[in-house]
Structure 1
């Protein structure tokens, strides 16, 4: 009985202490489907379009894709792309980086999570 209580206590501790910002894994297959609306501006094959290529976006500083002309807001940003920063940017680009040229937002949290999960699956160009 004591062993069960210790296990439950330990499990409860993990659930309480675990950071709220940790993202659950979204659905990469659904994210790929949702990304189709992003593909008009963003490539996943290494070339820049009206928006920068998104291969290897995680851990990259915002404004760092070679050959893409960013707005001053993005170029001068200290943002590094993580689950949290991409989620914030996709939910409201101009709220996070006023002056960005990206005007499209992704309203639904589950859609953002799925797109972010999909982006994590992309190989480097």
Structure 2
């Protein structure tokens, strides 16, 4: 669940992305398009059980989704949560740039006034 600004989603995405194994899983899934936990475990130096746990965190954050195909679950990347997080980060950076520009203008004005 998210608030009007997507804060919970952003928090979940940032928490999920904090782990390098999960970032690597996203990289592999992005490149491969779709993969099972078994296939991912073959590509990473992590057990299948650990991969399943990491995929659970990524799925809870909305970064991947799994669909059953026969006896296995195949995972794909869901970019919407990552896009929302990137938009939040861009807005945050823009706000800080605006604040810093104002501080710079105030400092320059104070310097001119002190001459």
TM-score, with length taken from structure 1: 0.27
Which one has the bigger strand percentage? 2
Which one has the bigger helix percentage? 2
- Structure with more relative contact order (C-alpha pairs < 8 Å, separation 6 or more): 1
TM-score, with length taken from structure 2: 0.29
Larger Rg: 2
